[in-house]
Chains A and B, each alone.
Chain A
Amino acid sequence: MLRHFATRLFPRLMLTGALLLSGCATTNTGQVSLQEVREFADASARLGGYAELARRYRDTYEREQPYLSPAADKLAKENDAKRRAVFEDFVAIQKTLVLYMQTLSLLAGDTRYDLSSRIDDLGNGLKANTESGLQQRHITAYTGMTRLLTRVIASGYQNRSVETMVRDGDADVQVLLDAMIQLTRLYYKTNENEKKTILGIFDVEIPFSTRNSDRMLVTLAKVHYMNKATEYKLIDRRYELALQGLTKVALGHQKMRENLGKLSSDEVRRLLTNYGRDLRTIRDGLSGE
């Protein structure tokens, strides 16, 4: 969904960017095009990392299962069920935040796209508190955010400026980002135990296999170990990048909230340009292996 949107939007963005660079601070329906806000919001919407890592978290059991003893497998199955029960909610938060950033990007630009079909995505809401996976304040923020987005999108953006959107949205944006950061840390920690479980078995068993007849097995085990160690090293980097990105998005939005009314000033524009650039760098790091 996001990727589809991004591929549609991207060429036009480039065009808009080029027009703006050539010096016309475009106005349309009386609104100033805030290029930096738009770029920041767009980079925030396209950050990536979180959804992929949430899926990886959900699929922990599939990866670790072959290495587990029956006793460990029993516990791992229970954990698997817990993780799967709440996966949809984890993804819903991200979808909402992406839609918010896309809407903000559109408000800050001078072109109009119809996002109303996307409102349906918001309809389902999060599950009831008891089984949901989120703290009450996260759920409150989610509800507030969907309400704001529904209002803004359904009204065709009339009477909505970037300023009011940022002002009305900031508290909820921050809570949702906080939830995503907390969850990403839990994904990271879970992955750490998975890594140590899998690699740890080889740490111990390889030195125990000293008979000549073990040689082929030991060789294969060493190759497998190296592959797994490389896989985890790469994935560790992705958790770090995802956390950095989410933190940047939160900071950038907070700066906008603090500078309402001054969003066109050189200082704020420079600040947002930096955040937008950092986010694109992080995104590149996440997409290149």
Chain B
Amino acid sequence: MASTSTRKGAVPAPASAAKETPAAEGAVPGGLSTTDQIVELADQLSACADQIHERVMSEIRSYGGKPVPDKVQATARALLEDEVLLRQRANGLYADAATFIVKALGKPQAHLVKLTADAAEKIRRIGVIGEVTGLVAGLIGLAGAAATGQAVPVLMALEKVHKQVKAIEALAPKPSAAAKT
């Protein structure tokens, strides 16, 4: 029997881990510069992809088995494609984390993660499915920029997503009743 302390993610603290943290290896503090930070962003992008999928599925379910109009199908397919692209970006970051490519980004990484978390929440609550597409496009841009590891494109992409999240907030006061979440 595998009895105690087998919880997922239980890492025994290695004796030597404390003396040399990844951040001490020439990375810029606060940037997207350690394995953990890269993984965290990738986790967020995966979570956004999950929310996109869930949103598309709830739209499909809302037709209760009746034929889904062509226009909605087209939107759903486009979003599915975006979802897959986000997952590829996330997997790219996981591969980067595994290879520990240290890229210094000037922006505090917490900001990145918060913004993507906001985006996931917006995708979950958004009323009209067409409105998701702009935000998702912004996210794809952000994910692509993060993959380059360069500060300027990331900052520009961040700003864009930030604006889209704001715009959706202004536009959609309440989640629609049709969309079961």
Q: Which residues of A does B touch, CB under 8 Å?
A: 60, 68-69, 71-72, 75-76, 78-79, 82-83, 85-86, 90, 131-137, 140-141, 170-172, 174-175, 177-178, 181-183, 185-186, 189-190, 192-194, 196-197, 200-201, 203-204, 207-208, 210, 240, 243-244, 247-248, 250-251, 254, 257, 274, 277-278, 281-282
Contacts and interface: CB of A to CB of B under 8 A. Distances in A.
Nearest to A257: B15
B37 interface: no
16 contacts: A132-B100, A137-B16, A174-B14, A189-B39, A189-B42, A189-B46, A193-B91, A196-B49, A196-B50, A197-B88, A200-B80, A204-B80, A208-B76, A244-B6, A250-B14, A257-B15
Interface string B23-42: 00100000000010001001
Contact of B2 (A82, A170, A197, A248): A248
B68 interface: yes
A204 B129 CA distance: 14
Interface string B41-68: 0110010011001001100100001011
B85 A189 contact: no
Given A175-B16, A208-B73, A190 B84 contact: no
Interface of B: 1-3, 5-6, 8-12, 14-17, 20, 22, 25, 35, 39, 42-43, 46, 49-50, 53, 56-57, 60, 65, 67-68, 73, 76-77, 80-81, 83-85, 87-92, 94-100
A130 B2 CA distance: 38
Contacts of A257: 15
A190 B91 contact: yes
Given A72-B84, A207-B68, A278 B1 contact: yes
Nearest to B89: A75
A132 B99 contact: yes
A137 B17 contact: yes
B85 A72 contact: yes
Contacts of A278: 1-3
Contacts of A85: 99
